[in-house]
Amino acid sequence: MRNENSGTVHGSLVQAESIGTVNVTTAPSLPAALDGLPPVSGAFAGRLPELERLKAGRGLTLVHGLGGIGKTQLLLHYGHDSKADFPGGRLYIDLQGYNPNGRVEPTDALASLLWMLGRESPPGEAERAALFRTEMAAREGVLLLLDNASATDQVAPLLVAGHRVVVSSRNTLASLQAESLELGVLTPAEAVELVGDEEIAELCGRLPLALRIMASLIESEPDTDWAAELRDTRLDVLDDGDDNAVHKAFRLSYNALEPDRRSLFRLLSLHPGDIDPESTAALADLPIPKARRLLADLRAAHLLERGNRFHDLVRLYAGQCLVEAGVPDPDSAAALLRLVAYYPRAAAERAKSIQNHRCDPKALAWMDRNHPAVLVMAIFERDRGRNVVPVANAMFRYFSLRKHLAPWLRLQRMAVDSARKAGDRRSLATELNRLGTAHRQARRFEEAIALGEEALRINEEVGNRIGIGSTLITLSATYRNMGRPDLALPCCERSLRIRREIDDRYGLGITLTNLGDTHLALGDPDLAITHYLEALELQERLGYEGSVAITLHDLGKAHQAKGEPDLAVEHFLAALEVHRRRDDRFLAGVTLRDLGTTYRGLGRVAEAHEAYRDALAAFEEVDAKYDAHTVRDLITALTP
């Protein structure tokens, strides 16, 4: 279990702070994923003997100790200090062994590690483990940091011979047969340095997390006899006997709160996502300004971290407080139902600002933070027998933009099931087509074709001509991705006839662009340009800047195919400007990739390198593994 902290920190901060977000930095000699560790935030007191043991160690070492003892900080300091010792790179993964929502399973950890190595993952765990061992065997010394493990079976498939592996856990993991490095509490001098009082340091058990909370209390109420409070307060054990000091610190901080702050703290244990004033107001049935003030007070008491994040142990403690307070089950259920109602409503409101003609950065940022919680609420609604089609519709453009494939596919499948159960065939066709789009983005082309054909059949049966035109374009794009533009062409031509007949100008622009893509794939760039220019004129007149950017990019590809690289660069740069303005990271990556290839053909190698590097960063940011792997190959081919 871990703390998270980011940004500017005021007051004392020790190594109990843990890093929750992996920020990858690019080193000149290695891909970012092979040479990136999370940054270390906060003060790091002592631990010199432990650091020396890690530096002197070989093979497999287990760093273990109770929650809040500073295991993650120690691993990261060791990793950052040892860069020169590992020419093959440094890999870090948080296994989330104590996350109440579930740990990272070995098969998923292997997929992440293979992605860091630039490889796609085979389907099974055994195949992934074999490929990972093969990849690692071909590399020079690598440091592998496996943080926050809960059991040996979570770690064993990730172990490789010939490299340095360090595991951290709250458990001893005796069956792991590793060199054991147990972390104890801070020395008396180190602890006193943080709280300024020897007795308080000892009553806090010299545990870094407890010391940090105590230091905050001392700073906020310096006239209180905190030593007496610690001596006189009888507290329950939070998790086990070893966690007693943490529980004491939490209890003191909790008891210092006003009643309304305590009530909110307890209710927040029910919150599944990114805690912000709006969702907190819904959960607790409060006005948003008051929710904002109460959250600020909880942050000041260090019961919430910066960004309103819970430490795992604090969340567990808040849940225990909810039980101890005797909050009736109906009250908790009502709070959850308010949250269930809030997220789909909030997502639908933001979705209005994520459209083809405009894309609000604030709406995108909200979706970035909250799409996991929206999915959780959709699952909750599905389990209650509710229709989740409105939730999927609200999230469709966001997922289309960001390409978060796993949650997109899951939500879209639930929407298809909801539409089937509701007997709404028009809605079912729409959701099938959108599920096909998600499968195409995941490069699952056979599934995408099957879904598109079912959607097309239903649209024809119900006479939904707009749906027919849209589904035909989805099918055409999938056929082109499969290398079958000959099959894409009749889909585009039929869609074009329908769009013109029903005067669907938005759909007509999309169809013309896809028809151009198909003729370009068939080897006729001149005809492709004709369709692109007609599409561009229509899209610019209607103000659909997302479509404009796509068509500009495709015009660049057509001019490149005609041997007109200067015109290609001009169109790619124009498209890139719009993609960046819309914060469309995936399509920006696509344009940067093609721009780099054009620069390469012009002999502008430095600019090609820069474009490829920017494309790789964009693809990695949206977890587009296939596209990132392709760009890595282009960078390798460009390097002398």
Please compute the mean of the pLDDT values over residues 280-300 and round it to a whole number.
92
How sure is the predictor about 100, in pLDDT bands with cuts at 50, 70 and 90?
Answer: low
Q: Is residue 204 very low, low, confident or very high in pLDDT (cuts 50, 70, 90)?
A: confident
Domain boundaries along the sequence of the chain = 32-182, 188-325
Q: What is the pLDDT, as a whole number, of residue 297?
A: 85
**Amino acid letter for position 221:** E
- pLDDT at 9 > cutoff 70: no
CATH 3.40.50.920 fits 32-182, yes or no: no
Cβ proximity of 572 and 553 under 8 Å: yes
Digit-coded pLDDT (tens) for 456-465: 999 999 999 9
**pLDDT at position 19, please?**
42
pLDDT of residue 33: 59
**Mean pLDDT for the stretch of residues 517-540:** 96
Q: Give the residue, 253 or 591, on which the prediction is more confident.
A: 591
User: So what's the pLDDT on residue 30?
Assistant: 53
Q: In the chain, what percentage of residues exceed pLDDT 90? A: 57
Q: Which of 33-47, 67-81, 501-515 has the lowest mean pLDDT?
A: 33-47
The H-or-E segment that residue 180 falls in is: strand 179-182
Q: What is the pLDDT of residue 563?
A: 94
Q: Which band of pLDDT confidence, cut at 50, 70 and 90, is reported for residue 609? A: very high
With a cut of 70, say whether residue 442 has pLDDT above it: yes
Q: Give the separation between CA 135 and CA 10, rounded to whole angstroms.
A: 44
Q: Can you list the alpha helix ranges (DSSP code H) found in 97-243?
A: 106-116, 125-137, 152-155, 188-195, 198-203, 208-220, 226-232
State the average pLDDT over residues 113-123: 88
Confidence band of 524 (pLDDT split at 50, 70, 90): very high
The length of the chain, given as a count of residues: 640
Mean pLDDT of the chain, nearest integer: 86
- 239, pLDDT greater than 60: no
pLDDT value, residue 5? 46
Interval 494-503 mean pLDDT: 95
Tokens 């169109």 -> residue = 571
Q: What pLDDT score does 317 carry? A: 80
Sheet hosting strand 90-94, strand order edge to edge: 90-94, 143-149, 164-169, 60-64, 179-182
Average pLDDT for 98-105? 78
Is the pTM higher than 0.85? The answer reads no
Residue that is written with structure tokens 């495709």 in the block = 554
With tokens 């939904």, the residue in question is 464
CB 553 within 8 A of CB 583: no
Token pair listed for 277: 């004033």
State yes or no: pLDDT of 29 exceeds 70: no
195-199, 298-302, 398-402: range with lowest mean pLDDT: 298-302
The answer to whether 86 and 36 have CB atoms below 8 angstroms apart is no
The CA-to-CA distance between both ends of the chain, in Å, stands at 46
pLDDT at 151: 86
Q: 308-329, pLDDT tens digit by residue?
A: 888 666 787 888 888 888 766 6
Instruction: Assess whether pLDDT exceeds 50 at residue 527.
Output: yes
DSSP 503-533: T-HHHHHHHHHHHHHHHHHTT-HHHHHHHHH
What mean pLDDT comes out for the span 187-207? 82
What average pLDDT does range 418-439 have in this prediction? 96
CA–CA separation, 464 vs 322, rounded Å?
Answer: 52
DSSP label at residue 85: G
6 pLDDT exceeds 60?
no
d(CA 78, CA 58): 13
Q: Round to whole Å and give the CA distance between 165 and 413.
A: 39
What is the Cα–Cα distance from 335 to 330, expressed in whole angstroms?
A: 9
pLDDT score of 8 more than 80: no
- Whether the predicted pLDDT of 48 surpasses 90: no
Q: Which pLDDT score, from 0 to 100, does residue 72 have?
A: 86
pLDDT for position 612: 96
Q: DSSP characters for 391-435?
A: HHHHHHHHHHHH--HHHHHHHHHHHHHHHHHHT-HHHHHHHHHHH
pLDDT tens, residue by residue, 373-400: 999 999 999 998 999 999 999 999 999 8
User: Three-class SS of residue 477?
Assistant: helix
DSSP 622: T
CA–CA distances in Å: residue 50 to residues 53, 62, 71, 73, 362: 5, 12, 11, 12, 44
Between these two residues, 10 and 546, which has the higher pLDDT value?
A: 546
Q: What share of the chain is helix, strand, coil (3-state, %, to 5)?
A: 65, 5, 30
Q: State how far the Cα of 591 lies from the Cα of 546, in Å rounded to an integer.
A: 13
Q: Which residue blocks in 270-328 are alpha helix, DSSP H? A: 277-284, 288-300, 312-324
- Residue 448, Ramachandran bin (φ over 0: left; ψ between -120 and 50: alpha; else beta): alpha
**Is residue 377 within 8 Å of residue 391, measured between CB atoms?**
yes
Mean pLDDT of 256-265: 88
Residue 515, pLDDT > 70, answer yes
Q: What's the pLDDT at 530?
A: 96
